[in-house]
Amino acid sequence: MRIGIIADVHSNLAALEVVLGALEGVDEIWCLGDVVGYGPDPNECIELVSKIARHCVVGNHDLGSIGEIDLADFNYEAQAACSWTGRQLKAENKDYLRGLPLKLEVAEGIMLVHGSPRDPIWEYIVSTWLAEENFAQFVETVAFVGHSHVPVVFEKSAEGPCRPHFFEEGKAFNLSEGSRYIINPGSVGQPRDRDPRASLLIFNREELSLEYHRLGYSVEKTQRKMERAGLPQFLAERLSWGI
C-alpha cells in the first residue's frame, strides 16, 4: 500500500494541485494539518483535502482560523492571515476543520499529529533533543508530524540515542525493523528549508520505505492572489525563498 503524506498546505492551491497530480495512483492520502492559514485559497484547499484525504488531523492555523484558539498566541502576520481566512471560510468548511481530531491512530503502530505527540497543537520538533523527549510520550512505532515545515526523520533505535536523517531526492529512505520514528514530510504550501518547492512523501507500508519528492509550482500565481487579497507582503515574499 502506497500512502501520500502531506502537511501544511496553508491555503496554497497552486502547490496543492501539483502535489495531488504527483500522488495520482496512490492508495490513500494522509494529511497532517494546517490546511489553511497564510495563503489565498482556504475554501478550495479544504474542499480538495476533504475529498482526497482518507485521514486528516487539525493544526494550529486551522484552529486559529475558526476561532478555536486565541490569535494572541500567533505572530502578527499569522494572526492577520488567520483573521482573513476566518472571514473567507464557508460555514461547511469551518465545520470540516472543527471536526478534525488532534491525533489519530490510523493503522496499527502509526499515528498522525500536527505538532508533536505530546503537544499536538504547538510543539515544533526541531531538534533530536525534542524528538527524544517525544519518543517517551507515545507508544506507536511511527508518528507522522508536520508544523515545522522542514522534512526530516528522527530515528530511535532499540538501544541507541535518537538520530536525525535528512531525505535525498530520488533515493528511498528505508525504515529499520526495531526502530521507532518521528517523520515530517515538509510543507506543501510554505516550505521553510530554503527550497521553495512543495514537499511530500510517499510511504510504502509493506516495504517500510519513504519516497521524498519536491515539486516546483507557480509561486508567482499564489503571490499575485495574496497581493490581491491584501495578505501581509512578507507572507508572499517568503514563498520565493522557502523560508
Copy the grid coordinates of residue 49. 483535502
Cα–Cα distance between 134 and 81 in angstroms, integer?
A: 30
Please give the residue ranges that form the binding site for Zn ion (CB under 5 A): 8, 34
Cα separations (Å) of 81 from 67, 107, 230, 234? 13, 34, 9, 11
CB of 162 to Zn ion, least distance (A): 23
Cα–Cα distance between 60 and 205 in angstroms, integer?
A: 28
Q: Judged by CB, which is closer to Zn ion: 34, or 41?
A: 34
Determine the residue with CB nearest Zn ion.
Answer: 34
Copy the grid coordinates of residue 242. 522557502
Q: Judged by CB, which is closer to Zn ion: 76, or 158?
A: 76
CB of 197 to Zn ion, least distance (A): 16
Q: Judged by CB, which is closer to Zn ion: 107, or 215?
A: 215
| CA dihedral sign, ordered 161, 203, 196, 8 | negative
CB of 37 to Zn ion, least distance (A): 7
6 phi and psi angles, rounded to 5 deg: -130, 155
Q: Judged by CB, which is closer to Zn ion: 34, or 193?
A: 34
CB of 161 to Zn ion, least distance (A): 28
